[in-house]
């Protein structure tokens, strides 16, 4: 290996995290925008083929195919969901080909948290895992727990079986 090859290989392993953050921000904003426009094909093209989506309900954990089947009727009606990022944090592994994020979202459910894992495929970032969580302000947590206890107590019994 020549000296020039060593230098070029060294720089190939480095990545520009600021530039990649811009790409990821654009990807996630476009991802959310596609859902807001009920653009089924564009929205699901942001996911890897083996992606997992986890929703706010404890029963909502789907692979891409199952999530597409669940979401299709919403998209077909011309309105899926409209999430806008309020605050977003992005992190990378050492290679720059894996990223994870968490964000606060303005949604029809008020503030939610989106988090997930993205994988770089070619020049594009794809969602490998997405987790949507409803936030609950601490002052009303006890009331919310009381409200959901009956449903989730029986669900926990069912899941443990």
Model pLDDT for residues 57-80, shown as the tens digit of each residue: 999 999 999 999 999 999 999 989
Mean of the per-residue pLDDT values for the chain?
A: 93
The three-point CA angle 136-56-101 to 5° equals 85
Token readout for 5 is: 């090859």
Q: Name, in order, each residue with C-beta under 8 angstroms of 121's C-beta and a sequence gap of 6 or more.
A: 48
Assess if residue 47 is contained within a domain. yes
Reduced to 3 DSSP states, what percent helix, strand and coil does the chain have, rounded to the nearest 5?
A: 45, 35, 20
Q: In whole angstroms, what is the distance from residue 161 CA to residue 157 CA?
A: 7
Q: Within a domain: residue 2?
A: no
- Whether 142 maps to a domain, the answer reads yes
The C-alpha atoms of residue 123 and residue 116 are separated, in whole angstroms, by 19
Domain assignment of residue 137, yes or no: yes
For residue 6, tell me if it sits in a domain: no
Tell whether the model's pLDDT for residue 97 goes beyond 70. Answer: yes
In a domain, 85, yes or no: yes
**Contact status, residue 89 vs residue 102, Cβ threshold 8 Å:** yes
* Residue 9 pLDDT greater than 70, yes or no: no
CB 38 within 8 A of CB 75: yes
Residue 30 belongs to some domain of the structure: yes
Q: What is the pLDDT of residue 14?
A: 78
Total domains in the chain come to: 1
pLDDT in tens, 112-137: 999 999 999 999 999 999 999 999 99
Across 2-14, average pLDDT: 46
> Is residue 91 in some structural domain?
yes
Residue 107: pLDDT band with limits 50, 70, 90: very high
- 92 is in which domain, residue-wise? 13-160
123's CB contacts (< 8 A; 6+ apart) are none
Give yes or no for residue 8 having a pLDDT over 90: no
| DSSP at 122 | T
CATH number of 48's domain: 3.10.450.50
């Amino acid at each position: 290996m020549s000296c020039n090859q060593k230098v070029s290989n060294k720089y190939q392993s480095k990545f520009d995290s600021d530039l990649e953050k811009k790409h990821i921000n654009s990807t996630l904003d476009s991802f959310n925008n596609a859902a807001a426009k009920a653009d089924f094909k564009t929205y699901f093209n942001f996911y890897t083929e083996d992606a997992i989506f986890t929703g706010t309900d404890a029963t909502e954990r789907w692979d891409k195919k199952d999530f597409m089947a669940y979401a299709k009727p919403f998209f077909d009606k011309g309105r899926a969901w409209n999430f806008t990022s309020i605050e977003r944090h992005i992190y990378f592994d050492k290679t720059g080909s894996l990223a994870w994020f968490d964000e606060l979202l303005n949604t029809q459910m008020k503030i939610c948290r989106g988090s997930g894992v993205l994988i770089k495929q070619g020049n594009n970032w794809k969602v490998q895992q997405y987790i949507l969580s409803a936030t609950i302000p601490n002052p009303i947590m006890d009331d919310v727990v009381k409200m959901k206890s009956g449903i989730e107590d029986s669900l926990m019994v069912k899941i443990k079986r």
